[in-house]
């Protein structure tokens, strides 16, 4: 299972970069997790939009879904140019009916409601969900394939259930929108110490911090998380590739 960071910024994209978007590949299947602002432009450095096989969404805040409309247009236009692709399934929760309806567009994309209480099979991937702590319905994901496990926290403040959800994961891709001296609970986000404690208590193999803030010295997030977790800690960045 190969992970490529396409975008990693929280709230909005840094200049010339992208907000949340992650490409997972296994056995030739290409799955995008979230698809925020700037992701489509950056994705084309790694794979063409018409070559994606599926998307799965944590929630409907713009920094996680803003580029779905232009993805739909890209696949439509490529079809006119002769690159016909199958209808693209976009998996999302149906608790926001207005946003879920936007996932279906002509015969280009099709919204598929996942049940957060059940395991979802997408290509070679098995995805389990857990409700996050965020101002809107949002779901963390545990993605497994080839005997490896990636846990993506999505947007959330810390809760104890994350420890058992992430236990033993090969990679914890975890939101870190706040520094250690800040309390992100009111905004539904974690800080660097939350991340370190989660990684330590869940016994994950490595921690990658994402959904990054637009201020401060980002390396401080790594040092603060590392004060709690002795394993490898790194910052997400565009183009970072990790093979599990």
pLDDT at 12: 97
CB crowding 53-64: b at 16 or more within 10 Å, else e: bbbbbbbbbebb
pLDDT at 164: 98
pLDDT by residue (tens digit) across 98-147? 999 999 999 999 999 999 999 999 999 999 999 999 999 999 999 999 99
- Confidence grade of residue 84 (pLDDT, cut at 50, 70, 90): confident
pLDDT at 21: 98
Whether 225 contacts 209, CB under 8 Å: yes
- Confidence grade of residue 66 (pLDDT, cut at 50, 70, 90): very high
pLDDT at 16: 97
What is the domain-level CATH number for residue 144? Answer: 3.60.15.10
d(CA 28, CA 37): 26
Mean residue pLDDT of the chain comes to 97
pLDDT at 43: 98
- Confidence grade of residue 185 (pLDDT, cut at 50, 70, 90): very high
Q: Which residues contact 86 (CB under 8 A, 6 or more apart)?
A: none
- Give the mean pLDDT of 63-85: 96
- Give the mean pLDDT of 28-53: 98
Provide the sign of the torsion angle of the four alpha carbons 235, 191, 38, 53, taken in this order. Answer: positive
Dihedral angle over CA of 37, 213, 56, 69, nearest 10: -10
- Give the mean pLDDT of 86-98: 97
d(CA 137, CA 131): 7
pLDDT at 59: 98
Q: Which residues contact 216 (CB under 8 A, 6 or more apart)?
A: 179
Q: Which domain holds residue 46?
A: 2-243
Record the pTM: 0.97
Domain count for the chain? 1
Closest CA to 193 of 217, 167, 220: 220
- Region of 38 (left: φ > 0; alpha: ψ -120 to 50; beta: rest) is left
Closest CA to 7 of 20, 25, 24, 26: 20
């Amino acid at each position: 299972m190969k992970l490529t960071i396409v975008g990693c910024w929280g709230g909005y994209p840094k200049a010339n970069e992208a907000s949340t978007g992650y490409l997972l590949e296994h056995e030739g299947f290409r799955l995008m997790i979230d698809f925020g602002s700037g992701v489509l432009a950056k994705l084309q450095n790694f794979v063409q939009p018409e070559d994606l096989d599926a998307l799965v969404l944590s929630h409907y805040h713009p920094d996680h879904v803003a580029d779905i409309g232009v993805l739909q247009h890209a696949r439509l236009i490529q079809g006119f140019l002769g690159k016909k692709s199958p209808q693209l399934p976009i998996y999302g929760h149906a608790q926001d009916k207005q946003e879920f309806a936007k996932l279906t567009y002509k015969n280009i994309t099709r919204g598929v409601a996942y049940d957060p209480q059940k395991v979802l099979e997408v290509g070679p991937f098995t995805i389990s969900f857990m409700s996050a702590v965020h101002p809107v319905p949002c779901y963390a994901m545990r993605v497994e394939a080839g005997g490896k496990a990636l846990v993506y926290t999505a947007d959330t403040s810390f809760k104890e259930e994350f420890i058992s959800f992430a236990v033993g994961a090969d990679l914890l891709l975890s939101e870190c929108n706040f520094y250690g001296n800040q309390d992100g609970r009111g905004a539904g986000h974690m800080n660097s110490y939350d991340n370190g404690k989660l990684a330590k208590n869940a016994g994950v193999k490595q921690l990658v911090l994402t959904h990054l803030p637009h201020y401060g010295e980002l390396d401080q997030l790594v040092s603060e998380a590392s004060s709690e977790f002795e394993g490898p800690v790194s910052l997400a960045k565009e183009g970072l590739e990790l093979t599990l």
